[in-house]
Amino acid sequence: MRKIKAQLFISLDGVVEEPGEWHFPYYNDEMGVAVNSTLGQADTLLLGRRTYDSFAGAWPEREAAGGPDAPFAKSLGDARKYVVSRSPLSFTWRQSFQLEGEFTEAVTALKNDPAATSDSPIWVSGSVSVVRRLLAAGLLDELHLLVHPIVLGHGNRLFEEAERPVPLELVSSETFTTGVLNLFYAPAPAPADAGYEEARNHL
């Protein structure tokens, strides 16, 4: 079974909306390596429609322009891109497909696709609504957060009110020279019941 991993740029107060408006001052060589070693190596992407439209409106032109970001643009173009949408879609960017059927069943089938040519992770970039649904369904294997040291005070946040908690385990962490935290989380068992009586033993 292939794993599904999600990568998001996020502010200190949890905002993930329009990162292009606030995260570029923090984009240095360290972040470039982090993105290229994850999203840049993906052969399969799972994207929400809005994120896909943003990508499709920029990366094919960047690939054709042949600039310094053309190799990254080509890798995105070559990856198989599955788009989550309730409305019928048509595509002009190569290797683009609509995820068909009920979300949980379709994602599970994608993870278990016998025709997959590799067992490398399926990556989600941005696509906040997709990440939330994957977390709720227990289908996300890793959450990669690039936490920027800025408080925006407004905007769409990654975590909303939910029916139940989603415990996570910190797998690895790194601090960039810009102050960005490069954090990898994986699902974790629910924590044991505890209250002040247990906590006070550590005071």
Q: With contact defined as beta carbons under 8 Å apart, do 120 and 41 qualify?
A: yes
pLDDT value of position 162: 67
Q: What is the pLDDT of residue 79?
A: 93
User: Cβ distance 173 to 148 under 8 Å?
Assistant: no
In sequence order, which residues have a C-beta less than 8 Å from that of residue 169 and are 6 or more positions away?
A: 185, 186, 187, 188
Residue ranges of the chain with pLDDT lower than 50?
none
- Predicted local confidence at residue 113, as pLDDT: 79
Q: For the whole model, what pTM was predicted?
A: 0.89
Domains of the chain, each with CATH number or no CATH: 4-202 (3.40.430.10)
Location of structure tokens 């984009």: 27
Distance CA 126, CA 108 (A): 20
pLDDT for 191 equals 83
pLDDT for res 117: 66
Per residue in 11-38, pLDDT (tens digit) is 999 999 999 899 999 999 999 999 988 8
pLDDT at 44 (0 to 100): 93
- Write down the pLDDT at residue 201: 83
Q: Mark residue 7 as left, alpha or beta (left: phi above 0; alpha: psi -120 to 50; beta: remaining).
A: beta
Burial code of 145-156, b = ≥16 C-beta within 10 A, e = fewer?
bbbbebebeeee
